């Protein structure tokens, strides 16, 4: 969840580290720090708060000369956000500096042992234990010390390490936390994610578990945990560098919402060929698809909400039984995996710790696994039996928008393809669905154009204390994501409920003036949802309804209505979520909050 960047080369390191960290601040912004070797010793500067504080303290890095170093932006796990707990961490003699993303699970045991041998700890972090343990094992050979530490520590880690005795090299280590290595004309780099180094190089290597990278100003060498040198394939990043910048928008979230028409197009187009759906990366024969007996969809957060939509869409179209699980629950509930089971793991980053663990559990139990991910070369992409990329491009805002939308499209494609192969869609119905899928980008663009009206409405609810979202079927899945968007960036308490559950206790929470957002896109459920709207209005609620353009009857009960263009009933989530994203965004902006970096949250959840 933290962000790591490192550099060794021909230029001053600190400005490069600060620039890289600015591209990783979505991974954590409780504190930030840098360690730079100036030719004589390692200097560390770190501070609690946003990266801006560190930048100001070092005058943009000018006060920290040196051509090698590591930097870190933190999402706190062990120890409160503070100057002391910020990374990098030293050994006692301040000759080894470490930055770390992940969690050292046995750090207390190690800390107790090291303390008994005289180590004096300054912080409450698990990372300082790594620095002290490196010092304990170091006798002039950094690789020997690093390997011994790897054998002793338990948990997840991506490490950037510099040794004062060996200033000509920078070390990087990875286990279950993402880390990439870049090679450019002016030096070599390490980073938690591509945007941090995209300005400097497009040539990268993806470290895999228990691999070590040794970087100099001109070369990179890779080793396994047995200190054996290994060869790694260099990858070229094809992203447009502007995709990782704001491009004139006030916030990344607004930019990424407006990129959704392109995101849908980019995810659809490679799979729509000559009037058919061709998902080559799926690698399943028609017979294998026909023999599927069950699908598990496993994910976290917003990806889990796409999975709930996927349950309705896959079951409704392909008539395959689907279970949707939170990844953190799937891996611990002893799931039943029978022959003919497909497990779909959904993750934007492809590094989500619980989702990755669930993937490994599913494979261990014999399931065929499919990863739906956005990041090429990520852990889930590499470890799943099959991978389906969403092609959403870099998503920087912590609150996902375009990646969520792309995941929906991927699930629609699977559902429609499975339905056709299983003989549940004739050619006319299949062609109609293809037509509706192709229309989604333009329909999203039309909804985005209505942002001023939604902004005016949002401004009325800046002081709201509680907001409720209700819906039935797919509309319930939409409500879950709409509610999450609001709470995570506006800090307003918000809950989503299946509308049919209102009478079972929930309706007691409705007070005079409470905002209730009612989603009603499923034609066969219009009347049922309408009765629920009447129930909450009778108790004083103000109702914002999101519904299809043909459902004008809802105006009799709702106070404010947002109409959606007509689409297939299974695809309505892709349209209904747009006004809910905009509403949440404008509430957050109206409250003066940092939309892209909501408190206590980070983009890529790489720890349990």
Cα(455)–Cα(171) distance, integer angstroms: 49
The rounded Cα 421 to chain-centroid distance in angstroms is 32
Identify whether 392 is preceded by a cis peptide bond (ω within 30 of 0): no
Task: Say how far apart CA 96 and CA 503 lie, in whole Å.
Answer: 62
Coil, helix or strand for 259? coil
**Dihedral Cα 444, 450, 454, 455, nearest 10 deg:** 110
Closest CA to 260 of 584, 567, 577: 577
d(CA 161, CA 144): 13
**Residue 410 Cα to chain centre, angstroms:** 16
3-state helix, strand, coil in the chain (%, to 5): 40, 25, 35
Residue 176 DSSP code:
B
Helix (H) or strand (E) holding 174: strand 170-175
Catalytic one of 2, 119, 188, 300: 2
User: Cβ-count burial of 390 within 10 angstroms (0-12 exposed, 13-18 middle, 19+ buried)?
Assistant: buried
Report the distance separating Cα 105 and Cα 549, nearest Å: 53
**For the packed helices 573-590 and 474-490, what is the interaxial angle rounded to 10 degrees?**
20
Is 2 catalytic? The answer is yes
For 351-492, where are the E strands, in sequence order?
368-373, 386-389, 466-471
* Whole-angstrom distance, CA of residue 468 vs CA of residue 508: 12
Q: What is the 3-state secondary structure (H, E, C) of 224-235?
A: ECCCCEECCCCE
The CA distances from residue 512 to 119, 461, 503, in Å, are: 60, 14, 17
Please report where in the chains the tokens 């229309």 appear, as a residue.
439
Task: Find the catalytic residue in 183, 203, 402, 603.
Answer: 603
Which residues neighbour 109 within 8 Å (Cβ) at sequence distance 6 or greater?
none
Inter-CA distances, 423 with 64, 277, 318, 319, 429, Å: 67, 15, 9, 11, 11
Measured between alpha carbons, how far is 301 from 322 in angstroms, rounded to an integer? Answer: 18
| CA end-to-end distance (rounded Å), the chain | 10
Catalytic annotation present for 119: no
Spell out the residues 6+ positions from residue 297 whose beta carbon is closer than 8 angstroms to its own. Answer: 307, 310, 311, 322, 323, 324, 325, 343, 344, 346
Q: How many Å apart are CA 54 and CA 31, to the nearest integer? A: 9
The region that residue 274 occupies, defined by phi over 0 for left and psi between -120 and 50 for alpha, beta otherwise, is: left
Active site residues: 2, 603
């Amino acid at each position: 969840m933290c962000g790591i960047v490192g550099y060794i080369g021909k230029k001053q390191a600190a400005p490069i580290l600060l620039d890289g960290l600015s591209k990783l601040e979505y991974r954590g912004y409780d504190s930030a720090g840098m360690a730079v070797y100036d030719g004589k010793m390692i200097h560390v500067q770190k501070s609690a708060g946003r990266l801006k504080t560190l930048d100001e303290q070092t005058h943009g890095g000018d006060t920290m000369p040196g051509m090698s170093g590591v930097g870190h932006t933190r999402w706190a796990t062990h120890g409160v956000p503070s100057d002391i707990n910020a990374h990098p961490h030293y050994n006692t003699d301040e000759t080894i500096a470490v930055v770390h993303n992940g969690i050292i699970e046995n750090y207390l045991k190690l800390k107790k042992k090291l303390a008994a041998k005289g180590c004096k700890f300054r912080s409450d972090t698990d990372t300082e234990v790594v620095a002290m343990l490196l010092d304990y094992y170091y006798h002039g050979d950094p690789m020997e010390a690093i390997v011994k530490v790897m054998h002793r520590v338990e948990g997840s880690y991506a490490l950037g390490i510099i040794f004062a005795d060996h200033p000509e090299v920078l070390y990087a280590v990875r286990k279950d936390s993402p880390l990439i290595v870049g090679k450019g004309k002016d030096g070599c780099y390490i980073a938690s994610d591509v945007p941090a180094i995209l300005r400097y190089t497009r040539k990268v290597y993806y470290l895999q578990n228990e691999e070590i990278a040794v970087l100099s100003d001109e070369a990179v060498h890779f080793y396994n945990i047995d200190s054996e040198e290994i060869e790694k394939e260099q990858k070229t990043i094809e992203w447009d560098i502007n995709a990782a910048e704001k491009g004139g928008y006030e916030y990344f979230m607004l930019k990424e919402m407006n990129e959704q028409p392109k995101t849908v197009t980019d995810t659809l187009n490679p799979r729509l060929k000559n009037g058919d759906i061709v998902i080559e990366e799926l690698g399943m024969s028609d017979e294998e698809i026909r023999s599927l007996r069950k699908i598990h969809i496993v994910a976290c957060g917003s990806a889990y909400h796409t999975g709930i939509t996927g349950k309705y869409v896959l079951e409704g179209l392909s008539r395959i039984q689907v279970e949707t699980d939170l990844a953190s629950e799937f891996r611990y509930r002893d799931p039943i995996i029978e022959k003919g089971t497909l497990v779909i793991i959904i993750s934007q980053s492809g590094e989500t710790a619980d989702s990755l663990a669930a993937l490994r559990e599913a494979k261990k139990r014999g399931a065929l696994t499919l990863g739906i991910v956005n990041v090429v070369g990520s852990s889930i992409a590499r470890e799943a039996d099959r991978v389906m990329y969403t092609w959403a491009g870099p998503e920087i805002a912590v609150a996902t928008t375009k990646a969520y939308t792309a995941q929906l499209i991927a699930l629609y494609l699977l559902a429609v393809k499975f339905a056709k192969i299983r003989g549940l869609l004739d050619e006319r119905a299949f062609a109609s669905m293809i037509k509706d899928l192709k229309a989604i980008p333009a329909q999203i663009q039309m909804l985005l154009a209505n942002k001023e009206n939604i902004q005016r409405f949002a401004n009325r609810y800046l002081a709201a204390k509680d907001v409720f979202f209700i819906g039935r079927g797919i509309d319930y899945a939409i409500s879950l994501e709409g509610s999450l968007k609001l709470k995570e960036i506006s800090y307003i308490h918000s809950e989503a409920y299946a509308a049919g559950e209102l009478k079972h206790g929930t309706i007691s929470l409705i007070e005079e003036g409470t905002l209730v957002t009612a989603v009603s896109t499923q034609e066969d459920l219009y009347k049922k949802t309408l009765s629920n709207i009447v129930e909450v209005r009778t108790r004083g609620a103000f109702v914002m309804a999101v519904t299809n353009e043909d459902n004008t009857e809802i105006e009799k009960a709702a106070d404010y209505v947002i109409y959606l263009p007509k689409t297939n009933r299974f695809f309505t989530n892709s349209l209904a979520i747009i006004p809910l994203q905009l509403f949440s965004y404008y509430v957050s902006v109206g409250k003066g909050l940092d939309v892209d970096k909501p408190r206590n949250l980070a983009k890529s959840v790489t720890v349990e």
